[in-house]
Chain A
């Protein structure tokens, strides 16, 4: 749709009914010509971006988040992307609360790429990650709603010539109680648009919240029960063809040659596209493309990584941990002296594997390269980064790339990367038609950007009561921050992500403490990235396992031991006590079954988790029960919190039990769900989440459960077997132990 058509459309509408066209209709009309089937989340064209941005929108557009048309169509443009965490609902509730509308009156639109308007305040770029969405949006989005509501009330008061203080707003209407007069927001948009925005507004007292704190139904889920929700992989545009891709199986390797002629003649095959490190077959449908790809037999040059294996990587990492120079993250007192004079000493080394994200939706993107630019439909956690990546591939300026963000079928950090978007653009740039690139599950597993492998070495000196007075922790691993956001590195070389929750444990700093970081450089082509729970997922496993070891060394109950360490941490102590109580801590269990407890404060939320698990004769683990108590401060939607904690813990347990990505000859050995095992429903125990709201500012919740999972499991297995598992995943070790 061109700009001219949009204007014509609007003028016609103006003439017809004295009203301007609603943006929803504009979006739908444009959409209907391009996309087959029922509508999902709205794709956004250049013109629609202008409407969403408020420029040329003939209605009330006070800011980047709220659009009200004269026909009472209310759109809320949410800054963060929906990948299952419920942010469309949570962020809409923040705006709607202060705007005085209900969720059944609004339409939720995804924010287009626009760093200026939608920069995430905590991340400092437009992105969804690090459990920052609600923490960042809590003030700005409520304020946006309050500003809009204040102006709409002023507009009504002026029209009625009454004091604004005599007017109230409710369900999208302003009412003057004394005279019984009422106007809808739509009736006020022209007046409101001419009024200045107030600089200061009064936010509601939490006692007056109507929506915040309630279990409102999610706005994104009805379409997810009947097949109408659209993810990036579902987008269909006219004339579109499908690309199946094979990346060089050795990470970092190159394509040498491919004999195309034996597949070009196959029915349904349109083209073969060679890239420096991959080959794609374009077909009329995925099956034509994928089956042709499988008979292509490309010749690859693996390069130096042909000698890379998990064994060499591990040895290299362990050597770096022993011999590398650490950058100091935190230093308190005099660790060495305190360690020397301690009553007893404990030392341990922990190892955690590379992990892939394995979202249910494999990487996919639809790209149409045309008119010196590109139009892209895909799920991404980083719309501006994806737009920039695409522009770079094409050698064009940013505004030549239009990106329509879609629902994401599981992100977990995978879609903070833009490699799949850039590859789809590279393929589509060689095609005269739009292309949907779909990675097979095998490609998705073997060409991920992996959670780094870590080696952690700790030692502690205990006083005569068994409490730590000296604490030493060295973190060694590849730095995600150095690769992804180098400006985030500390000047001395510490990756703040890698040491989060290690340098500042939930217990507070120990009297004599030294935590440092050794940055290990992975081989070129082995790319490390963010994985749900980021740094804390790694650090909390180590810290909470080690504290359990200290409790054991001190011959103390691990729950009571933690209580002593948390004497000055009331929020942590409260969740710890609640989880222990609900899990019936101390109640006798059958032989071979144990409980493990942990407590943490990552992402500004406090959580304690108790896992009850047993180990069979063959070393197989059975999960029997999970209890969590969580305090994430002020609550937007309790149901969303419980969903994230339930799912987050089980997601973490899946990895802790089964998952590791290993390499032989530079190739990832795992390929699909048959060898990268996922937790399933039949393995899932009763899961109880107790939510303890407090009046603290909201904490993050999307990753809190995941971070808590592995140490709670490892501590439970220690209680069950007396064996301390210092490496993840645990299932392989237990099976090996049972076999000997």
Chain B
């Protein structure tokens, strides 16, 4: 099936089975390998991308369901002010260890802050609980989200920098 997509602001056309998840179209057809495979069943969030600004798990999203929605991946999330602020905060607070899940973490955090510039702890929990990090960088992720939002971030007393 020929499918037209909007990916990172560019029109793309691919010829793939209609049930093929967006994740594999991005990775194996379009060469955008920043979006990661972790579980294939929307349990870990490594594959998170934006669909019209919403965080979605691309590993379970059939390409036929994408339609005209704008797809944004980690490769282009820094083009938005919020995305760039999140990337910066991730580095300033040295969130990252192995980094494999962090594309998805950054996409989830950016979608949260774009909609809710000053999230509460409960709202951060709710937006981020779908993203697993095996290095368990969670305390710094929480802190970096607040930092990106310009909020004080007292949860992590383990000082860095």
Classify chain B: how many residues form its interface, as a range: 35 or more
| C-alpha gap A412/B129 in the complex (Å) | 22
The reply to whether B28 and A287 contact each other, CB–CB distance below 8 Å, is yes
Question: Does B65 lie at the interface of the complex (its beta carbon under 8 Å from any beta carbon of A)?
Answer: no
Known contacts A83-B98, A227-B73; is-contact A687 B156 (Cβ 8 Å): yes
A-B contact number at CB 8 A: 207
Check if B64 is an interface residue, CB within 8 A of chain A.
Answer: no
Residues of B within 8 A of A286 (CB): 24, 27-28, 37
How far is B43's CA from A644's CA once the two chains are assembled, in angstroms? 25
Report if B96 contacts A (CB, 8 A): yes
Whether B140 and A646, one on each chain, are in contact in the complex, defined by CB atoms closer than 8 angstroms, is yes
* Cα of A619 to Cα of B37 in the assembled complex, Å: 33
Chain A contacts for B91, CB-based, 8 A = 217, 221-222, 225
CB within 8 A of A682: which of B128, B135, B156, B160?
B128
- Classify chain A's interface size: 35 or more
B97 engages A643 (CB within 8 Å): yes
Q: Are A681 and B128 in contact (CB under 8 A)?
A: yes
Q: Nearest B residue to A229 by beta-carbon distance?
A: B99
CB-defined contacts of A84 to chain B, threshold 8 Å? 96-99, 135
Alpha-carbon distance A672/B40, docked complex (angstroms): 9
Complex Cα distance, B59 from A362, in Å, reads 14
Contact B134 A359 (CB under 8 A): yes
- Chain B CB within 10 Å, residue with most, of A37, A83, A224, A642: A224
Residues from chain B with a CB closer than 8 A to the CB of A361 are 36, 38, 98, 100
Return the contact of B43 from the options A438, A646, A673 (Cβ within 8 A). Answer: A673
Identify which of residues 19-39 in chain B touch chain A, using a CB-to-CB cut-off of 8 Å: 19-21, 24, 27-29, 31-39
User: Which residue of A36, A440, A687 contacts B139 across the interface (Cβ within 8 Å)?
Assistant: A687
Q: Is the CB of B94 within 8 A of A267?
A: no
Q: Tell me the interface secondary structure of chain B in the complex.
A: loop
Question: Are the C-beta atoms of A227 and B103 separated by less than 8 Å?
Answer: yes
Please tell me if B56 contacts chain A, counting CB pairs below 8 Å. no
Q: Smallest CB-CB separation from A702: which chain B residue?
A: B97
Q: Which residues of A, 631-652, contact B by the 8 Å Cβ criterion? A: 638-639, 642-644, 646-651
Q: Are B99 and A226 in contact (CB under 8 A)?
A: no
B22 to chain A, nearest CB (A): 10
> How far is it, in angstroms, between the C-alpha of A218 and the C-alpha of B137 when the chains are bound?
15
Within 8 A of B (CB), among A169-221: 215, 217-218, 220-221
| Closest chain A CB from B100 CB (angstroms) | 3
For B29, the closest partner residue in chain A by CB is: A285
A227, A231, A647: which has the most chain B beta carbons within 10 Å?
Answer: A227
A672 engages B39 (CB within 8 Å): yes
Within the complex, the shortest CB–CB distance from A572 to chain B, in Å, comes to: 21
Choose the segment among A402-410, A592-600, A720-728 that binds chain B (4+ C-beta atoms closer than 8 Å): A402-410
CB distance A226 to B75 under 8 Å?
A: yes
With beta carbons under 8 angstroms apart, the residue of B16, B77, B96 that contacts A224 is: B96
Give B60-107 interface residues, CB cut-off 8 Å to A: 73-75, 77-78, 87, 90-91, 94, 96-103, 106
User: B38 touching A441 by the CB < 8 A rule?
Assistant: yes
Which of A36, A284, A690 has a CB less than 8 Å from the CB of B31?
A: A36
B36–A409 CB distance below 8 A: yes
* B125 beta carbon closer than 8 Å to chain A: yes
Given contacts A217-B91, A234-B27, A684-B138, 18 further A-B pairs with CB under 8 A are: A36-B31, A220-B99, A225-B106, A285-B28, A286-B28, A358-B134, A361-B98, A409-B36, A410-B98, A410-B134, A441-B41, A642-B158, A642-B160, A673-B41, A673-B132, A681-B141, A682-B126, A684-B142
Give the top 8 A-B pairs by smallest Cβ distance, nearest first: A227-B34, A409-B100, A84-B98, A224-B99, A650-B136, A84-B97, A285-B28, A682-B125
Could you write out 17 A-B pairs with CB less than 8 Å apart? A84-B99, A215-B161, A217-B91, A222-B91, A225-B106, A226-B34, A227-B33, A227-B34, A291-B17, A360-B133, A412-B134, A438-B37, A639-B94, A678-B132, A679-B136, A679-B138, A681-B128
B-side residues, CB < 8 A to A, are 16-17, 19-21, 24, 27-29, 31-41, 43-44, 46, 73-75, 77-78, 87, 90-91, 94, 96-103, 106, 124-126, 128-142, 155-161
